[in-house]
Amino acid sequence: MELKRVVVTGLGALTPIGKNLDEFWTSLINGNSGAGPITRFDTTNFKTKFACEIKNYDWKNHFNRKEVKRLDLFSQYALIAVKEALEDSKIDLQSIDLDTIGVIWGSGIGGIDTFTQEIKNYVKNNEIPKFNPFFIPKMISDIAAGHISMKYNLRGPNYTTVSACASSTNAIIDAYNNIRLGLAKVFVSGGSEASINEAGVAGFNAMRAISVRNDDPKTASRPFDVDRDGFVMGDGAGAIILEEYEHAKNRGAKIYAELLGGGLSADAHHLTAPHPEGLGATKVMQNAIKDANIKYSDVDYINVHGTSTGLGDIAETIAVKTVFKEHAYKLSISSTKSMTGHLLGAAGAVESIAAILAIKYGIVPPTINQFNLDPKIDSKLDFTFNKAKKRNINISLSNTFGFGGHNASVIFSKL
């Protein structure tokens, strides 16, 4: 069968460096860090006392009291980003067959804030089981997708992908495959996460996965730097409206980019560490390029996973050189996590948006906080350190890798 073409017609972003799409992009190209002291709980006894929170977030600006009782933060963030993306797409939900619009959303952890608060209340109440009746439906990872479909009466395929930090890239790939197979005309896709709470921070501290640079949070996320000491946690959401090309063209939709292909792979190596030779990362980029039916030399920009972890940054760099060979030195590369922090299950969606906007505006966002390059990392590669640069970008690739060895990559192009 002939596969349908898939395009991006709407974007929405709620991030630590901007609470809408324009703010997010402006902060990216200006190299702004979203890191700062944690305000959501008392960090006195915690090893890490900072993160990339959504600044001055107030649910009252978006929901009424009845609605918010049913919504964990990760679902709140999802609905806010999706509202912007749908408005951006200018799709008329009153005139379209809602059976043809689906929702595939990603979240690595889901309602951990609800879970944490309910367990705290249980202990506080001398272990008397007086749980909130919304406890389970607020906590489960699939519920954000459910809320999106219920709010807009979208009756197409509806589910959530969970693959740790690759979750929302997996969601985008699944939505892409559904559309190109002709199973739906439009998908709301993306991901959200809200894990900056006691359990989330303490859990990642116990793994020694996150930075403890409490004296200078804004420079703590420093991918590829020899003094990096772990990633910085971030909260937020990214929403992408994917649409079958002819459907979008017929309604006169604004088109940001075409989604050319997606790749998946597994490291099959370790619970949390990447394969030291970057085998899974190599395979996932190769799979994406094959699926997109392009040459390696066609790729202009890679938004790398680039978490600022000791092993991860090295493994991904090895993979880029393995896949692209000499062309690796002609690529622009950057890690926008240096600014947003690591949004976990939402990272893939937010970074895909960065890769799409890089095409639209012809600007490569920077990798900030580069002071001393790790000598184990090839200094001839162009990591776009510390300052954005103009470049004509026809094709961009975005990588996401998750604990458990889950890898997902997507490729976007100018139409």
- Quickly count: other Cβ atoms within 10 Å of residue 388's Cβ: 19
Q: Is 305 a catalytic residue?
A: yes
Catalytic residue (one of 165, 247, 275, 406): 165
Q: Is 165 a catalytic residue?
A: yes
**Residues contacting residue 388 through CB under 8 Å, at least 6 positions apart:** 28, 29, 30, 31, 363, 364, 365, 366
C-alpha triplet 20, 148, 120: angle, nearest 5°: 85
Catalytic residue (one of 147, 247, 275, 305): 305
- State how far Cα 235 lies from the chain centre: 10
Catalytic residue (one of 147, 247, 342, 406): 342
Query: Distance between CA atoms of 201 and 48, rounded to whole angstroms?
Result: 7
Q: Is 406 a catalytic residue?
A: no
Beta bridge partners of 190: 105, 239
Per-position DSSP letters for 336-386, written without gaps between them:
THHHH-B-GGGHHHHHHHHHHHHHHHTEEPPB---SSB-TTS-TTS---BS
Pairing of strands 301-303, 332-334: parallel
Per-position DSSP letters for 89-138, written without gaps between them:
HT--TTTS-GGGEEEEEE-SS-SHHHHHHHHHHHHHTTT-----TTHHHH
Using the CB atoms, write b or e for 3-38: b if 16+ within 10 Å: ebbbbbbbbbbbbbbbbbbeebbebbbebbbbbeeb
Residues designated as active site: 165, 305, 342
